[in-house]
Chain A
Amino acid sequence: MRPFEYSRASSVGEARTLGGRFIAGGTNLLDLMKLEIETPEKIVDITRLPLNEIKETGDGGLKIGALVTNSVLAADERIRRDHEVLSRALLAGASGQLRNKASTGGNLLQRTRCGYFYETSQPCNKREPGSGCAAIGGFNRIHAILGASTNCIATHPSDMAVAMMALDAVVETEQADGHNREIPLRDFYRLPGDTPHIENELKDGELIVNIRLPKPKAGYHVYRKVRDRASYAFALVSVAAIVKMDGSEIAEASLAFGGLAHKPWRDPKLEAMLVGQTPKRKLFEDVADALLADAQGQGENDFKIPLARRTLISVLSEATQGA
């Protein structure tokens, strides 16, 4: 860990003016700093900021403070009742101890678990732009099958973000110049392209203050996470699904995927394929094929393509039967 300057902010405004890398739970950043994968010169501790409440918005939605811990969020009665896919996704991630520390804002900003990103003597365009990608042709079991580039095939590890993607969450920020802005989560993350080290749309000094959930999405909520052990492992494939039926037809559908790409994956055309249709296996297969039309395996992770297909078909079957 490289020596760094530490300061603690007592207000959002102060956090902004102090300048430096924000730290909340530290469950990811500290590990990365110990290994000198991240080497910030200044750390601004934001844990004292008044951003740890979950407030109801007028339209039935919720405004989640960026510092609300994953444990508190998962256990919140309103989340469990109205946005249950989020509660399920949170509880499918990490461990109890980590969820007690991890913040909502920080969870969105988790960095990849690619083994080569974690090994500083190996090339990694995400860690050291221009150095190359050791995961291509290497051990890439957990890597992306959608949206990857020749520069990076890493995946985003968050479960929470996948559920929030399905819930149409909006990230509320305060920028370095004091202006607030809102970024729909679906526009928040970037694909790796030529700049895998830039993972989201946040600008320097921009702080996530809240994550807003719009009014509850009625219907059957599923979070299905497939992984290499029963707990405490990152998703190989995960599916967040919310399906509302109208009689025998699908009225509304919302789908998001984890473990497949550099970002939580959402593809509106899949949802459009479902709406107005009568659930049947052929339909689910068509949706899965549409999801995976451009899927590209990297060798070790080729299995993710059939795995994602089967998992999605199973989830859609469950959700349409349950709804």
Chain B
Amino acid sequence: MNKHVMDEAIGETRLDRGTQGVIGKGAPRYEGKLKVSGTAPYAYEYLAGEDVAYGFIVPASIAKGTIRSVDATKAEAVPGVLTVISGDRIVRAASQPMAPAAQTIDGEVFHYNQPVAVVIADRFETARHAAKLVKVDYDAKEGRFDIAARTTVREPASMPMEPNQTRGDFESAFAKAEIQYDQTFTTPSYQAAAMEPHATTAKWDGERLTVWTSHQLLETAPGQLSKHTGVDADKITVHSPYIGGGFGSKLGLGPDAVMACLGTIATGKPVKIALTRQNVFQATSRRGETVQRVRIGVTKAGKITCFAHETDTTNSPGNGFFEPSGISSVFLYPGEDRIVSHNIVETDVLMASACRAPGEATGMLATEGALDEIAEQLGLDPVEFRRMNEPEVNPQTDTPFSSRRLIDCIEEGARRFGWSDRPKTPGSRREGEWLIGMGMASASRKNDLMESSAEIEMSPDGRATVRTGMTDIGTGTYTILQQIAAEMLGLPLDMVDVELGDSRFAPSSGSGGSWGANSAGSSVYVASLALIRELASRIDADAETLTLKDGHAISGNRQIPFADILKGEAISVTGKIEPGKQAEETHQASYGAHFCEVAVNVVTGETRIRRLLTVGAAGRILNEKTATSQCYGGQIWGIGYALEEDLVIDKRNGLIVNHDLAEYHVPVHADVPQLDVVLLEDRDPHASPLAGKGIGELAIAGVGAAITNAIYNACGVRIRDYPATLDKILAELPDDYLTAA
């Protein structure tokens, strides 16, 4: 195993030399043709033409209580029903990311519409109908559904961050502060809402279990399924080659995977389960709602002296994961005395887990709104206020930043956007019945490098194949891994193949936390170096100075095709990246800035986004096109956070009321204007051998606040209770809304 531990900053690499000239370019998606032609098989589409059975989940009709009995007599009597599985092996929801297994129900109901049983039948329609015939009796208990009630408050786990980080004496410092900002923000629950629902095809052949499922992180999947089924993990193979979006909701293994496996073992037939949209909303995971108190002490001159960000967020019994709203507050802004803290308010609602930039997505709605409010109070331009408060080192730990181009992003964005033309006072610019405003916000996303490995096999004709258990959730992983290998090995892109999403391949970081490109990409880098050493040794050349281009090794005056070096033999090497001292010695994050222009309807309070610009700096950009697309996605989700998304939990009974895409609103095309994304040239030699950092979730961070700050600039209405639906704006709109004749 060739291993690179990130203990030291990386020097110049073959990626900097760019001999092949493919790294960073907007290469088209490796699997693009398959996807646009409908021939990339997704999990549910495997075993087409085989005799398979179908599963359908029976949901609980209460939110909390004990299951007294499950009567499947009527369901089992329906012709075509093979079995009804109930009992303790049924799982509550998806598993938490990297958890040993999903939580089983153990005779209890933990949330409304939790799975209670699963019907397996020869046809999907039969299973669906029979599921309605399963009669479940409960002893219902009183549940807890309202975060504000704070009925049960407990400590979070240390995932996904250390929940409580304090420094100095915030309370004293705040009491002495010249300006004391103290406001509370609320964000609702969210659904990840990936286009492809969680879906699985599972096949048990009496000895081996083969599973195709839509899953972001394969490494722990066989182990989890082993716990659920009793089949040895080494007899379980999990495939996830194509994924129609995950957004964190597929970091854990879906309940479909567990139940399809139970179904195929019980019936001996391959079983397919695709969750309905209602199942996805109620039986996978969601983002916890938050109540966030932000207190910032500032001098009259505009220097932040102390900073506190205290978050309540929800999760269900047995779940320590929490929405880490304070994740950027640890390092983004200065202040000698600090509090970043999180509490879990336990509720009897579907478990909360990772969803589209956990932490930043919700926390920066609060803090970036707070900064806008303070800047206004001080009479400072929000850009200037941020420039005045740029810390030199991580204010929590005094650790140096690895690279931080926040102010560059803000300044570049302000220049490109025409920020100087921003209306000076709210409500001062009107076009017909639309009030126009501009807002901005910072973006930051903590960077993580994860352990990851990849194999590269070079066949005798000089073609390379990259294999890793990594996944591509639509982000462009296939393509960037192809580009990294091609650049490193001096191969044209079409000489490099990439195979992903197979649990038998070298274990990888999986796709999550924006770490995938950097982690999996670095493993390909490490494997490439090993392969180059092998090639060099075979021609007695110095690996370091050997030039590789277009499938040839060039050393001195020799130019040798790879095929000639390989002499009919294939070479296979594996490389592994591990995080090291750099993660402790430097503070790593990606940075950016958002600028937004909105129009708020003076009659109705409807908001329309007119322009949205994001400038980002995330180290080396591996593929300009896929990186930009990632940012578009972040901007669009930001529109959802700012204006629309709200997973409504009925506080009386715990029901998720809007459990489909008709009433759970995510942005549609008409909500999204022309989007602009600019990526600054950046290298972060401390972050990875690629000198890159995570970008996937950077553009989500803060973008919603840029929108609501623009709403304030347009009409003078401050949004602290998200989303900014028209009713919250309407009440404060002026009465002179009629457009003059």
Contact = CB atoms under 8 A, between A and B. Distances in A.
Interface of A: 1-3, 34-36, 113, 115-116, 118-119, 121-122, 134, 137-139, 142, 226-233, 236-237, 281, 303, 306-307, 310-311, 313-314, 317-318, 321
A137 B650 CA distance: 10
B730 A303 contact: yes
Contacts of A232: 668, 670
B142 to A, nearest CB: 17
A303 B727 CA distance: 6
A95 B603 CA distance: 25
Contact of A122 (B605, B655, B669): B655
A321 B604 CA distance: 19
Considering residues B604, B644, B667, which has the most beta carbons from chain A within 10 angstroms of its beta carbon?
A: B604
Contacts of B667: 229
A113 B738 CA distance: 32
Given A303-B731, A311-B604, A229 B741 contact: no
Contact of A139 (B62, B657, B668, B730): B657
**Interface on chain A toward B: helix, strand, loop, or mixed SS?**
loop
Q: Which 9 A-B pairs have the closest CB atoms?
A: A121-B61, A303-B727, A231-B670, A230-B670, A115-B657, A314-B603, A139-B657, A230-B671, A226-B604
A183 B608 CA distance: 40
Given A231-B668, A310-B603, 4 more contacts: A226-B606, A228-B644, A306-B730, A307-B727
A1 B648 contact: no
B725 interface: yes
Interface residues of B, number: 43
B662 interface: yes
Nearest to A304: B727
Nearest to B278: A35
A1 B671 contact: no
B718 interface: no
Contacts of A303: 726-727, 730-731
Contact of A1 (B61, B128, B727): B128
6 contacts: A228-B644, A230-B671, A303-B731, A307-B726, A310-B737, A311-B604
Given A113-B663, A138-B657, A307-B604, A229 B643 contact: yes
A243 to B, nearest CB: 14
Contacts of A231: 668-671
Interface of B: 59, 61-62, 113, 125, 128-129, 132, 278, 433, 603-606, 608, 643-644, 648, 650, 652-653, 655, 657-660, 662-663, 665, 667-671, 725-727, 730-731, 737-739, 741
A229 B737 contact: no
B129 A3 contact: yes
Contacts of B606: 226-227, 230
A228 B670 CA distance: 12
B727 A115 contact: no
A306 B731 contact: yes
Contacts of B129: 1-3
Contacts of B665: 228-229, 233
A2 B59 CA distance: 17
Contact of B125 (A1, A142, A233): A1
B63 to A, nearest CB: 10
Contacts of B668: 229-232
A116 B61 CA distance: 13
A118 B660 contact: yes
Nearest to B605: A307
Contacts of B655: 119, 122
Nearest to B61: A121
Contacts of B603: 310-311, 314
Nearest to B78: A3
B434 to A, nearest CB: 12
Given A113-B663, A116-B657, A229 B727 contact: no
Contacts of B608: 230
B301 to A, nearest CB: 41
B130 to A, nearest CB: 10
A36 B89 CA distance: 27
A224 to B, nearest CB: 9
